[in-house]
Structure 1
Amino acid sequence: MLPPRIIRRLVLAPLVIALTVAAVLTLPVWLIVVTAASLRLPPPQRRGTRLVWFAVSWLTLESMALIACLWLWIIDLGGRLSHDEREERHYALVKWLLSNVYGAAVRIFGLSVEIDEPRATSEELSRRLTRPVIVLSRHAGPGDSVLLVHHLLTRYGRRPRIVMKAALQLDPSLDVMVNRLPNAFVPPDAETGGVITEIRRLASDMDPDDALVIFPEGGNFTPKRRRRAILRLEDRGLREEAARARRLEHLLPPRPNGALAAIEACPTADVVFVAHTGLDDLVTLGDIWHRLPVRAEIRAGWWRVRAEDVPEGREERITWLFDQWDRIDTWITEHRAAPVSEG
């Protein structure tokens, strides 16, 4: 159960700023502690210090974003900003925050992202920001949604809309910024119908430069989740989908209802599928502590299906969605790098 919004604003947001000040003042102590803890790990034993530097950088950027949100709230008192101006300024703030988080990851973790994208024809380039897109991405590895939203904003000039878990509102800057933009938070016990309603709401009024981001798997891949997903399909009598799910090596089977609802609500939108690999095995904090590589390398690929090429009919679209998931799974097999040395 999340605390009420007023508590999150008056307690959690100031707490982050206080933690930032405390972290900066005690940084030498934390560096000594994590260096000692890292002695048990294989060389080059720099993982702990890198994690501390990134945590302090993240807290600092969060605090700066919260102060900026407060300033935007002050200048908007009395409705002095129009709806478009308010959205534009908050999207700019999200872009600034994610760009700096991405920059910190590049400097501290040696992060590199290589994007394998289709060669655009002149027709596709002329249409790039003339219609909205629905982005269907795999869900794996730490920060994949952060990287995806960052690249949508900076590389492709899109304004992302996302349906997220309500618990993410415990992050104060995310709570404030995202709730001021067209996004949706859903509680873990939300009925499927409620989630679908939110997806339809976000998709129904998209502008040409908007992008609705959906992760059809519903969570990061683990063997246990894969088994549960297959059993769930079998229990519902969906034997063909269960058989196809067994053939997926790197993915959970897609849950089609959200994607289909978005397509129905915005039939003019092109659909973009995103595959990525590189940090797939880093799921928990323990994984990150024990197996974070010396250089974090991510390879991503995407392809676009024009709105007019999306099949008609629910069953045809479900089959098509599984076909695209097969393609993502094959792409990952072809591009997944061998395990790199840890550091």
Structure 2
Amino acid sequence: MACTAFVLGGGGVLGAAEAGMARALLEAGIVPDLVLGTSIGAINGAAIAADPTPQGAQRLIRTWDALASGEVLGGSLLGRVGRIVRNGTSLHDSDDLRRLLLEHLPASRFDDLVVHFECVDLAVVVAPLTLTVAALVCLATRSGLPLRTARLLVAYAWIELFVLPRLITAEEDDWDALLREVLDGLYRAMRRTLDVGVAVQGGSVPDAGLRGDGGVIVLARHCGPGDSVFLAWLLAVHHGLRLRVVLTALLRLEPSIDLAGDHLPLCFIGPRRRRARACVEDVARSMTSGDALLLFPEGQNFSRPRRRRALADLRDSGAFRRERRARRHTHTLPPRIGGTFAALTGAPDADVVLLAHSGFADDGRDRPVWRLPTHRTLLVHTTLVPSAEVPRHDDDAMSAWLDDAWARVDDWIATTVDDDGPAAATRPRRTA
């Protein structure tokens, strides 16, 4: 049976040409039975699938005219530079584009579309070619890294396809359940592809200890790309907690994470410290039993250059005592005080959990982003600090407490992983 399909690709402003071509086809009586779109073609495709008539195409052209007029992408150069400095993610406000689409698109749900429409992730479309090329590179280089990398990218693209429609339609009854599904999918993909997993060391906090009346604030070390996914999985899936996370604002460039921020208690922090602290305090304020706020006091992944810069910053600011003490800790960065203070202030009844882990490098420190970890287990140890033992009303006392707590984290890493390789993390029993 013959089928007419409109296939619309990406290309940014080239999407305006797609609108004109669609109008010409529809005026000639060529009506699609199926519309597929990716990137900007997904927006055009949704509009055409909602109203596959010349009038519908003309409405889409008016949408592009509105974009060209500067209503959405306008503003002075200084204003746009100011915006990216403030939010750290974009030159323009996505709210204006969202309002424009709601105004011009004749449908807001997939069920309302006249023609069957599919939004396609390019990484999935080219997956067979990607995996084939990666396999050939593996044969040539005698390394499994290219194929593992390609498999991870394809798995990530499939997860994107799974979650994006649900984020866009915003009809979930339980957003925490969706987050657990996504984290579990990511975790299982990494386990299958890289043979990596998570194990909790004996003596760590049991499930019951993580369910205090005021929730828990989890202060975790940050050591290399990807460890945050494993830790989020551990808290949300393994322990079954409702997760709140403090993230860098740059992650809003990832569409799924950006949309998830509209439905989940995520805090995206940029360079403006006052706004960042207010965001953390606000997310922490409403915590109850079963909630967990995941926070990385170091503020960034550990690396040796970053450690040297952090020590220099302490010295330059006159914090000589903190600098001397931090110099003895070679596996972690000095903790940043602001975000932790905001969380403790916002949730005065929350217990604190110190989360240390072995990392994926032999020495327990940083690992280059291009070196994927394989055949490893992330060993995790957690320590509970009851709410009553955390000073919250004295800045100096709180700062001293945080330094003491982070010294315990560094000491655990130093005694668990030595410079010759993982000591206690060789192949412990995994949590899953």
Same fold (TM over 0.5): yes
Task: Pick one of 150, 162, 186 that aligns with 1:101.
Answer: 186
Matches within 5 A, 1:27-38: 27-36=130-139, 38=141
Matches within 5 A, 1:228-247: 228-247=309-328
Instruction: Give the CA deviation at 1:54.
Output: 1.3
Equivalent in the alignment of 2:388: 308
Residues 155-184 of structure 1, C-alpha deviation per residue, up to 9 Å, x if partnerless? Answer: 222112122111111211111123321112
Equivalent in the alignment of 2:369: 285
Instruction: Give the CA deviation at 1:255.
Output: 0.8
- Inter-partner Cα distance in structure 1 for 2:93 and 2:124: 25
Residues 163-215 of structure 1, C-alpha deviation per residue, up to 9 Å, x if partnerless? Answer: 2111111211111123321112123xx22111111111111111222111111
Matches within 5 A, 1:134-153: 134-153=217-236
Greater displacement, 30-39 / 132-141: 30-39
Task: Pick one of 206, 211, 216 that aligns with 1:133.
Answer: 216
Equivalent in the alignment of 1:80: none
Equivalent in the alignment of 1:214: 295
Instruction: Give the CA deviation at 1:37.
Output: 5.8
User: Would you say the 8 A contact 1:220–1:283 is kept in 2?
Assistant: no
User: Would you say the 8 A contact 2:227–2:359 is kept in 1?
Assistant: no
Q: Does residue 118 in structure 1 map to residue 118 in structure 2?
A: no
User: Would you say the 8 A contact 1:37–1:48 is kept in 2?
Assistant: no
Instruction: Give the CA deviation at 1:126.
Output: 7.3
Task: Pick one of 256, 264, 267 that aligns with 2:337.
Answer: 256
Matches within 5 A, 1:167-186: 167-186=250-269
Matched to 1:58, the amino acid is Y
Matched to 2:305, the amino acid is K
- Structure whose alpha-carbon radius of gyration is higher: 2
User: Would you say the 8 A contact 2:131–2:147 is kept in 1?
Assistant: no
Equivalent in the alignment of 2:167: 69
Q: Secondary structure at the match of 1:285?
A: coil
Equivalent in the alignment of 2:375: 295
Gaps in structure 1 of 5+ consecutive residues: 40-44, 76-85
Equivalent in the alignment of 2:425: none
Instruction: Give the CA deviation at 1:127.
Output: 7.2
Greater displacement, 329-338 / 162-171: 329-338
Task: Pick one of 130, 146, 162 that aligns with 1:48.
Answer: 146
Task: Tell me which of the two structures has the higher relative contact order, counting C-alpha pairs closer than 8 angstroms and 6 or more residues apart.
Answer: 1
Equivalent in the alignment of 1:271: 352
- Inter-partner Cα distance in structure 2 for 1:236 and 1:148: 32
User: Would you say the 8 A contact 2:391–2:401 is kept in 1?
Assistant: yes
- Inter-partner Cα distance in structure 2 for 1:267 and 1:96: 31
Instruction: Give the CA deviation at 1:15.
Output: 12
Point out the structure with the larger helix share: 1
Gaps in structure 2 of 5+ consecutive residues: 1-83, 85-89, 102-116, 423-432
TM-score (norm 2): 0.66
Equivalent in the alignment of 2:36: none
- Inter-partner Cα distance in structure 1 for 2:268 and 2:126: 29
Give the 3 Å change call, closer, same or farther, for CA 93–143 of structure 1 in structure 2.
same
Task: Calculate the aligned-residue CA RMSD, in Å.
Answer: 2.7
- Inter-partner Cα distance in structure 1 for 2:348 and 2:204: 24
Equivalent in the alignment of 1:83: none
Matched to 1:22, the amino acid is V
- Inter-partner Cα distance in structure 2 for 1:95 and 1:117: 24
Give the 3 Å change call, closer, same or farther, for CA 315–69 of structure 1 in structure 2.
same
- Inter-partner Cα distance in structure 1 for 2:157 and 2:151: 10
- Inter-partner Cα distance in structure 2 for 1:8 and 1:145: 31
- Inter-partner Cα distance in structure 1 for 2:241 and 2:312: 37
Give the 3 Å change call, closer, same or farther, for CA 186–153 of structure 1 in structure 2.
same
Matches within 5 A, 1:331-342: 331-336=412-417, 338-339=420-421
- Inter-partner Cα distance in structure 2 for 1:7 and 1:15: 25
Q: Secondary structure at the match of 2:335?
A: coil
Q: Secondary structure at the match of 2:289?
A: coil
Aligned length: 311
Q: Does residue 157 in structure 1 map to residue 258 in structure 2?
A: no
Give the 3 Å change call, closer, same or farther, for CA 8–304 of structure 1 in structure 2.
farther
User: Percent of pairs identical after alignment?
Assistant: 31
Matched to 1:201, the amino acid is D
Instruction: Give the CA deviation at 1:299.
Output: 0.9
Matched to 1:295, the amino acid is H
Equivalent in the alignment of 1:5: 94
Instruction: Give the CA deviation at 1:69.
Output: 1.9
TM-score (norm 1): 0.82
Residues 6-32 of structure 1, C-alpha deviation per residue, up to 9 Å, x if partnerless? Answer: 69988xxx9993313323242443324
Give the 3 Å change call, closer, same or farther, for CA 5–36 of structure 1 in structure 2.
farther
